[in-house]
Amino acid sequence: MAALGFVSRADAAEYGFSTYGLGSSAFGAGATPPPGTYVTTVIGYYSGETRATIDFGGQIFTAGAKAKFFQSALSGLYVPEATLFGGKVGIALTIPAGHVDITAGITGPGGATLTRQTDGWGLGDINGRIQLGWQSGTFAHLIYVQGVAPTGRYKVGFEPIVGLHRPGIDTGWSFTWEEPTSKFQFNGTFGFTFNFENDKTDYQSGHEFHFEWAVGKEVSQGLVLGIVGYNYRQLDGDSGSGARLGPYKGSVDAIGAGAVYTTIVGTTPLIFNLRHYEEFDPRNRMDGRMTIFTGTLKF
């Protein structure tokens, strides 16, 4: 089952952040589980530093800004018995919350750099998703559409925002294929994020492309180990009166290690995912590292 994501802290666009959670899709990306209700707990931690000037809430900060984000989320996925076009339907809702800690420098009078810091807890931006998946032998794939609502903690200025106040729609295609003899597994998700204007700042973030992948091998019953990664590209520049740095297009790549373990306790299926990503080759974004843990329970 594809992991249900939360807001990513790893991209360009306004605040240097994206509403799509990079790294939220890895092993089992293209699989839609059997009918039932699934609840997933997500815990993630990201830390990074900017190499470029950033616009944060209408204030321009110099390169070297540091950020630490702890996020948790509760996600529910419902798969009904009924099918559509021969595929299984999935309906999901994710409610995130988290803590942000940002330290950044601003150029003051006389050219001196003044350091500012902010931190705080809050609710994140809630997102809903609908997907339609098919399976043929050991190949599974799905299409999805998910929307983000600006429900999270937000205030214009240098504030500890957990939400971005930026509605968005992400749509894409995911696949999973396992070679039955060697038990090697290949997974990928191609997606596009269409952003709407932040009406608090008159900032229109550019649209985005993301590709996430995972390659692994089942080394023992229920345990898959492998490598994971993602590639992000902003397709067009930012605009609007609030885009003080101009188009500000961004990109980033990441690679890391991942594991997934599937077991049954009594009659209840459990799925655990652990992934770590190291980013590289950033452009107009933070350069950092991220760890994600998810646990899924079927009811």
Q: Is residue 2 part of a domain?
A: no
Q: Which amino acid is at 226?
A: G
Q: Is residue 150 part of a domain?
A: yes
Q: Is residue 180 part of a domain?
A: yes
Q: Is residue 68 part of a domain?
A: yes
Q: CA neighbours within 13 Å on the CB side: how many for 230?
A: 31
For residue 55, give the CATH number of its domain.
2.40.160.40
- Domain count of the chain? 1
Separation of alpha carbons 114 and 160, rounded Å: 18
Q: Is residue 6 part of a domain?
A: no
Full-model pTM:
0.90
- Token digits of residue 255: 């690679």
- Token digits of residue 113: 């750099």
Average pLDDT, integer, range 85-103: 96
Q: Is residue 269 part of a domain?
A: yes
Q: Is residue 5 part of a domain?
A: no
State which residues form the domain around 221: 14-298
- Token digits of residue 101: 């800690």
Q: Is residue 4 part of a domain?
A: no
Q: For residue range 25-65, what is the model confidence (pLDDT) as tens digits?
A: 999 999 999 999 999 999 999 999 887 777 776 677 777 88
Higher-scoring residue by pLDDT: 239, 133: 133
Q: For residue range 182-203, what is the model confidence (pLDDT) as tens digits?
A: 999 999 999 999 999 988 888 8
At residue 1 the predicted structure's pLDDT band, cuts being 50, 70 and 90, is low
Backbone φ and ψ of 110, nearest 5°: 80, 5
- Token digits of residue 186: 């290949």
